[in-house]
Structure 1
Amino acid sequence: MTRTRTRTRTRTYGWQDPAITASAVGDESGLEFLRGFLTGELPPPPLAATLGFALEEVEFGRAVFVLEPGEEHYNPIGSVHGGVYASLLDSAAGCAVHSVLPAGTGYTSLDLNVKFLRPITVDTGKVRAVGTVLTKGRRTALAQAELLDSEDRLLAHATSSCMLLPLPPR
């Protein structure tokens, strides 16, 4: 086996102060808060810049994130790392839950169960993580998320349980 050295690739990105967004949590409904990302009133979280994904749609009980896979997402075997799948699915499921919360209520993930069904590479093209709320109670919510390619083939599936929390007054 011949190993070839290649030139180092680089990627530069920036983000805004995450305290801006954190200070706005709970002031309005979860849906209104999430819509702030779509309108540009709120800066996206640093993780979105780090991984290169974005919130594309949000409505009550549903959130959609998109990602154009790149080499920077690869694991050592030449496909997108499972942690990228999980981050997209967790974001979609969690934000779907957030979209149904009233002002003054937050959430945290209790678990995330991911099933990887197909590999993703740069040739896959843009992928979408579509999160939906399955049920919401007083203390917990259950959501699912599907990771889909441009032809709506299922690449991965996840379920997430979230604990609902009253946010402290400011």
Structure 2
Amino acid sequence: MGRTRTYEWQDPAIVGATAGRVSGVEVLRDLLEGRLPPPPLVAALDFALEEVEEGRVVFSLMPGEEHYNSLGSVHGGVYATLLDSAAGGAVQSTLPQGTAYTSLDLTVKFLRRITVDTGKVRAIGTVVNRGRQTALAQAQLVDAEDRLLAHATSSCMLFPLPAP
């Protein structure tokens, strides 16, 4: 018998409209505190923003069967999504009001397999360097015992948002 999973999300334009009016760290703190709805992808994969400070963010995920590939473990795309979210979030947390970013690349190294038996995993993103036009960030995916499961680096382009 098949399994079913249902989830809901809110209009993603709500967060987008806020982004130009406050700093990046304020947007992330509003997401963390529930003052803004999470992006739809968060609901689809069922991961959560857990920590926010300038230059560092942490996302977490409790692996489930819905994250599995055909080999019976969590799909690499889930790893990459968590790592990309953490690295990008770390960059976002440093941005002033009216500035946005987009990922230019993401390099992921998969080190250990993840299954439902792994338990909760955390993606910890930090900014390595931020200039005026680009930023370099890294993210580590770790288990409850802080064993490294995967590592990523990401370059991001920074740009001004259009005036409202």
The TM-score normalised by the length of structure 1 is 0.96
Partners in 1 of 2:80 and 2:151 — Cα distance? 9
Partners in 2 of 1:34 and 1:135 — Cα distance? 19
Residue 102 of structure 1: how far off its partner (Å): 0.3
Which region of structure 1 is more displaced relative to structure 2, 131-140 or 24-33?
Answer: 24-33
Residue 22 of structure 1: how far off its partner (Å): 1.0
Root mean square deviation, CA, Å = 0.4
Partners in 2 of 1:120 and 1:103 — Cα distance? 37
Report the counterpart of residue 16 of structure 1 in structure 2: 10
Partners in 1 of 2:130 and 2:100 — Cα distance? 13
Report the counterpart of residue 27 of structure 1 in structure 2: 21
Q: Is 1:156 matched with 2:150?
A: yes
Deviations 1:67-98 (A, max 9, x none): 00000000000000000000000000000000
Task: Give, as a single letter, the amino acid of the residue that structure 1 aligns with 2:47.
Answer: F
Partners in 2 of 1:163 and 1:49 — Cα distance? 26
Report the counterpart of residue 3 of structure 1 in structure 2: none
Partners in 1 of 2:147 and 2:31 — Cα distance? 27
Deviations 1:77-124 (A, max 9, x none): 000000000000000000000000000000000000000000000000
- Determine which of 55, 60, 75 is the counterpart of 2:54: 60
* % identical equivalent positions: 73
Partners in 2 of 1:97 and 1:24 — Cα distance? 17
- Determine which of 133, 136, 157 is the counterpart of 1:139: 133
Residue 21 of structure 1: how far off its partner (Å): 0.8
Residue 9 of structure 1: how far off its partner (Å): 0.4
SS at match of 1:24: helix
SS at match of 2:128: strand
Residue 26 of structure 1: how far off its partner (Å): 1.9
User: Which of 1 and 2 has greater Rg?
Assistant: 1
Q: Is 1:87 matched with 2:64?
A: no
Report the counterpart of residue 103 of structure 2 in structure 1: 109
Report the counterpart of residue 121 of structure 1 in structure 2: 115
Partners in 1 of 2:33 and 2:124 — Cα distance? 19
Task: Give, as a single letter, the amino acid of the residue that structure 2 aligns with 1:57.
Answer: E
Deviations 1:122-167 (A, max 9, x none): 0000000000000000100000000000000000000000000100
Gaps of 5+ in 2: none
- Determine which of 135, 160, 164 is the counterpart of 1:166: 160
Partners in 2 of 1:39 and 1:120 — Cα distance? 28
SS at match of 2:19: coil
Partners in 2 of 1:158 and 1:27 — Cα distance? 30
The TM-score normalised by the length of structure 2 is 0.99
Partners in 2 of 1:27 and 1:154 — Cα distance? 37
